[in-house]
Amino acid sequence: MFTGLVEEVGKILERDGARLVVSAERVLEDSDLGASVAINGACLTVVERGRGRLRFDMGPETLERTALGDLAAGDAVNLERPMRLGGMVGGHLVQGHVDGVGTVAAFTRQAETARLTIEWRDQALAALLIPQGSVAVDGVSLTVARLNARDFEIMIIPHTLAATTLGGLRKGQRVNLEMDMIGKYVKRILSLGEPQPKARRANKEEGSR
């Protein structure tokens, strides 16, 4: 479980098929073999740790569901270690399980801030977005400022622009999206409906005799 608060920006040192080698400093601590690290919002497992670097292997599901396959040597990535139980959640609860990929439709600087518009590819994601709700974009916890028919808008403050990769986004670039976990559970519950439990029906029938 993560919070969507990026700890540092790393760089892709090597990309060989499904293998990623990422530079890191702060997140090296506690990131031993088998540890989890969120890279642009996707939870990956450390398979090798070296001086100033971590290596990860991406599975077919990860490459299919995320934008990590677009990464190349030299690209910057957002890094975050899992949250500690009992610690402060400054962003929102983020699982590191990417729900889908969005495309940057517009990125406009407004003084020291920026307005980011992201278009979703999967229409099913629309039901999981609400105005002023939470969403993770490339692993960054953000607030939906405006919700449109095919996209949503976010206002990004100067600190986020400087401390994450979002300040370097370009129109047409693909980004990882993770919707709010609570919204996903609500949608699942509603999709199942509310059938009356069999045991409860049986008790009613016995009481009527």
pLDDT band at 61 (very low <50, low <70, confident <90, very high): very high
CA 152 to chain centre: 15
- In CATH terms, are 8-80 and 100-192 the same topology? yes
DSSP 92: -
Distance CA 99, CA 73 (A): 25
- How much is the mean pLDDT over the chain? 89
| Range in 7-11, 90-94, 107-111, 186-190 with the lowest mean pLDDT | 90-94
Segment 70-92 mean pLDDT: 83
Architecture of the CATH domain 8-80: Beta Barrel (2.40)
The pLDDT assigned to 86 comes to 61
- pLDDT, one tens digit per residue, over 112-122 is 999 999 999 88
- The CATH class, in words, for 100-192 is mainly beta
Q: Which residues pair with 78 in a beta bridge?
A: 9
The pLDDT assigned to 208 comes to 47
Check if the beta carbon of residue 152 is closer than 8 Å to that of residue 144.
yes
Helix residue ranges, H only, the chain: 60-65, 158-163, 181-192, 198-207
- pLDDT, one tens digit per residue, over 106-148 is 999 988 999 999 999 889 899 899 999 999 999 999 999 999 9
Which has more pLDDT, 75 or 200? 75
| Sequence letter at residue 89 | V
Domain locations along the chain: 8-80, 100-192
- pLDDT, one tens digit per residue, over 6-22 is 999 999 999 999 999 99
pLDDT band at 92 (very low <50, low <70, confident <90, very high): confident
DSSP 81: P
